[in-house]
Structure 1
Amino acid sequence: MTDRHIPAVESAPTARYGELTRMPVEYTAFCELHRPRYLSYARVWFREPGQAAEVVRHALHALAAVWPEVLGSPSPAAAAWEILRETVADQHSRTPDGLQPGQADEDLAILHYVVGLATPEIADVVGVDTASISSQLRHAKRRPPEAG
């Protein structure tokens, strides 16, 4: 029988807070897979790379707190994406630039056109099927920009 837990590594969100915890290997793998894309998304909303990284750390820390429930959900990636979006929106509302993280279609457009992810990658990050992503991207492209 193998130990399915590994010690928290320096890049794990809890390590920054000085906690000596052990996270499931599935959580660590999930973070390693999604952290770079989450950072790319957060950098769209925060000018300082350190601030974007801090927001992602907060989101992954929140994810760690509910990991068993997320892992048991129909789409762990979708649940984690919502935690990230909520964390970005919450932290961003505290900045004075007046911009706000948008609707789901706008987030998909950001992931595709700004971050540069292909449709299958976006589907993997947000936890929905590729056909839905394609449809939503077409819808976002056709929708006129909102007046500011």
Structure 2
Amino acid sequence: MRRSHRIRQVVNYLNLSTPLGLLIARLGRARTRRGERGLVYAHGYRIPFPVAGAFTVGNVVLTKHGDGYLTGCLLDHESRHATQYAYCVGLPMLVLYVLASAVSYVLCGHPASWNLFERMAGLDDGGYPRVHPRWRRSRSV
């Protein structure tokens, strides 16, 4: 494991975001295992919220899908979210993320397209569309 991943792992454990992610995984009856980059993969998450292919809390990446889903660009995207938790000192990230989603929804009608955290994690890697802000859309008469 790279030094930066180990530091992120320790920081996210100390700021309580990873323990919260593990609790959410347990409540969602997901199977956990160690993954790459110091992450914990939680497959088979059964709670229907949030509506996403995968989501991250601390260093825990949760998905309703089975083993093998968290690879490539999606894993890169979720790993960046884990780093965001470390930079946001853990749990405040949840509030900031919800606010960023609300701003994005107001701007363009989609909770991820103009969400600062999703843009910094890579919209394309996360499978999100690039929706133009409402004021830049062409109007048809």
Instruction: State the TM-score, normalized to the length of structure 1.
Output: 0.28
Compare the two structures and name the one with the higher strand fraction: 2
Instruction: State the TM-score, normalized to the length of structure 2.
Output: 0.29
Compare the two structures and name the one with the higher helix fraction: 1
